[in-house]
């Protein structure tokens, strides 16, 4: 079943990529899994500067029509089209490149330096892995094959900090 799901995801990506590119967006990720007794096909889209709800709705309609014609999934499913959100999973090297110089959270397999969760500044991205300035361990190189999951860590502005700056003269 796993191989069949992976084949479906590849087929969906091949069909969807030209439509998404035409709209000036990129496919961030595709997920296809059973949830609450039904199959859900999630296509996450993004571009620099983000995507609007109207744009996502338009692409949803286009993909829905396209999938009705080409039928990439041989059983019933629900299509969802969304942005990857503020805190997003980094799935490809291009995603890591986009967040160089930003904070990320990373889980490894196997453990690295006795830990499997790291958080810090993504210093650089290389062909074989990444260089992370971890908050606790300092600089650590992690190979692609050792990364189980990584997400960017969006830093929300601190309104209290801005308030204090206004009072200071």
How does pLDDT run across 18-59, given as a tens digit for each residue? Answer: 999 999 999 999 999 999 999 999 999 999 899 999 999 999
Distance CA 165, CA 168 (A): 5
| SS3 category, 1 | coil
Which is nearest to 143 in space by CA: 93, 105, 84?
93
Domains in the chain, CATH or no CATH each: 2-82 (3.30.300.70), 93-152 (2.30.30.100)
Residue-averaged pLDDT of the chain: 93
Residue 167 — φ and ψ, nearest 5°?
-80, -25
In this prediction the pTM is: 0.81
Question: Please, which residues bridge with residue 12 across strands?
Answer: none
Distance CA 119, CA 136 (A): 8
Digit-coded pLDDT (tens) for 7-23:
999 999 999 999 999 99
Digit-coded pLDDT (tens) for 98-154:
999 999 999 999 888 889 999 999 999 999 999 999 999 999 999 999 999 999 998
């Amino acid at each position: 079943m796993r191989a069949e799901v992976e084949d479906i995801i590849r087929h969906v990506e091949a069909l969807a990529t030209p439509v998404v590119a035409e709209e000036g967006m990129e496919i961030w990720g595709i997920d296809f899994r059973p949830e609450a007794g039904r199959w859900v096909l999630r296509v996450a889209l993004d571009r620099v500067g983000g995507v609007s709800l109207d744009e996502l709705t338009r692409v949803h309609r286009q993909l829905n029509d396209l999938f009705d014609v080409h039928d990439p999934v041989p059983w019933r499913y629900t299509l969802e089209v969304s942005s990857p959100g503020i805190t997003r999973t980094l799935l490809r090297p291009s995603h890591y490149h986009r967040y160089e110089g930003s904070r990320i959270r990373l889980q490894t397999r196997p453990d690295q330096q006795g830990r499997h969760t790291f958080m810090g500044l993504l210093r650089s991205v290389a062909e074989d892995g990444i260089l992370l300035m971890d908050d606790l361990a300092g600089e650590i190189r992690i190979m692609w094959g050792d990364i189980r999951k990584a997400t960017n860590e969006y830093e929300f502005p601190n309104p209290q900090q801005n308030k204090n700056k206004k009072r200071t003269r």
